[in-house]
Amino acid sequence: MSQQFVLVDVKESVARITMNRPDKLNALSDAVLDDLEEVLNELETREDVKVLILTGSGEKAFVAGADIAEIARLSVVEARTMALRGQALFSRIEDYPKPVIAAVNGFALGGGCELAMACHIRLASEKAKFGQPEVKLGIIPGYGGTQRLPRLVGRGMAMELTLSGRMIDAAEALRIGLVNHVYAPDVLLNEAEKLASEIAVQAPVAVRFAREAIHNGVDMPFGHGCNLEAHLFAALFSTEDMQEGTKAFLEKRPAEFTGK
């Protein structure tokens, strides 16, 4: 199911998605976005896939940004269409029913940083670099960066990074909360797979509802978020996995979840 610019490898319920345009530092052209969308569509329906890992090919870049050659020739109307298309795809990742982990192995700049931010969890190599340098090109982030960055690191830090176009290293990204963990380059994917495996053995519906409660509830008033949590909590009591999970606990054995 791999596409020209997006490679897929599935092993033990975990799908590794590799952005594969190393000669262009995995830049996000229209063709790359097409391939990524096709892969996401196919993986969503595969019952053998529980968690996704998104990374970049080569040693230099996760995704170094959008394809500047494509951007440079856009009209105003085409630029808006491009932004809306990228925003829709990245929102699709953010709303994806299966957890998506970004394993940021190098440059994550512009659209690459926006792609990482759309993922549910971010792990970074010590060599990773992050930034929204669009102002250096006379534009601004267009794939949701102005909205996700302040939600992750706070308004002031988001303003600083976006208005200056400054690039930060993995240690700084960890300090401000942009990434969850930083690892040596040679163990990054192993650590991402380890975390993915920890998630993959949990009850799939519960994992999906927990992600939904956090993602949708965080921007609600606290009471509304708690109401959402209570609704999703109660809904899980109609699942076979809830019955299996509690029964297995009482019987002191591993649970065997089916996603039902």
Q: What is the DSSP string of 222-247?
A: HHHHHHHHHHHHHHGGGSHHHHHHHH
Distance (Å, whole) CA 52 – CA 9: 10
Residues 156 and 178 in one domain: yes
Q: Report yes or no on 101 lying in a domain.
A: yes
- Which two three-digit tokens encode residue 227? 């109401």
Q: Is 114 a catalytic residue?
A: yes
How many C-beta atoms surround the C-beta of residue 190 within 10 A? 12
Question: In the chain, which ranges are E strands?
Answer: 6-11, 14-19, 51-56, 61-63, 100-104, 107-109, 121-125, 129-131, 168-169, 181-183
Q: Report yes or no on 75 lying in a domain.
A: yes
Q: Which residues are CB-contacts of 70 (< 8 A; sequence separation ≥ 6)? A: 29, 30
Written as one letter, the residue type at 255 is: A
Q: Is 53 exposed, middle or buried (0-12, 13-18, 19+ CB in 10 A)?
A: buried
Q: Is the pLDDT of residue 50 over 80?
A: yes
| Mean pLDDT (the chain, rounded) | 96
Confidence of residue 58 (pLDDT cuts 50, 70, 90): very high
Residues 39 and 110 in one domain: yes
Distance (Å, whole) CA 107 – CA 97: 27
Residues 189 and 208 in one domain: no
Q: Is the pLDDT of residue 2 over 80?
A: no
Written as one letter, the residue type at 208 is: R
Residues 172 and 209 in one domain: no
Residues 50 and 168 in one domain: yes
Q: Is the pLDDT of residue 69 over 90?
A: no
First to last CA, the chain: 26
Among the listed residues 134, 191, 193, 240, the single catalytic one is 134
Q: Give me the CATH number covering residue 213.
A: 1.10.12.10
Residues 239 and 180 in one domain: no
Distance (Å, whole) CA 214 – CA 195: 18
Q: Report yes or no on 83 lying in a domain.
A: yes
**How confident is the model at residue 243, as a pLDDT?**
94
**How confident is the model at residue 76, as a pLDDT?**
96
- Which two three-digit tokens encode residue 226? 């708690």
Q: Which residues are CB-contacts of 90 (< 8 A; sequence separation ≥ 6)? A: 114, 115, 118, 143, 144
Residues 162 and 225 in one domain: no
Q: Is 134 a catalytic residue?
A: yes
Confidence of residue 127 (pLDDT cuts 50, 70, 90): very high
Residues 136 and 228 in one domain: no
Q: Report yes or no on 88 lying in a domain.
A: yes
Residues 85 and 210 in one domain: no
Distance (Å, whole) CA 254 – CA 80: 51
**How confident is the model at residue 68, as a pLDDT?**
87
pTM beyond 0.85: the answer is yes
Residues 183 and 78 in one domain: yes
Among the listed residues 94, 114, 212, 229, the single catalytic one is 114
**How confident is the model at residue 240, as a pLDDT?**
95
Distance (Å, whole) CA 161 – CA 195: 29
**Can you tell me the mean pLDDT for 176-185?**
98
How do residues 191-209 score in pLDDT, each as one tens digit? 999 999 999 999 999 999 9
Residues 40 and 168 in one domain: yes
The number of distinct structural domains making up the chain is: 2
Q: What percent of the chain has pLDDT over 90?
A: 94
Are 88 and 52 in contact by the 8 Å Cβ rule? The answer is no
- Which two three-digit tokens encode residue 30? 């229209």
Q: Report yes or no on 256 lying in a domain.
A: no
Confidence of residue 137 (pLDDT cuts 50, 70, 90): very high
- Which two three-digit tokens encode residue 163? 């208005």
Q: Report yes or no on 259 lying in a domain.
A: no
Domain that holds residue 81: 6-200
**How confident is the model at residue 66, as a pLDDT?**
84
**How confident is the model at residue 125, as a pLDDT?**
98
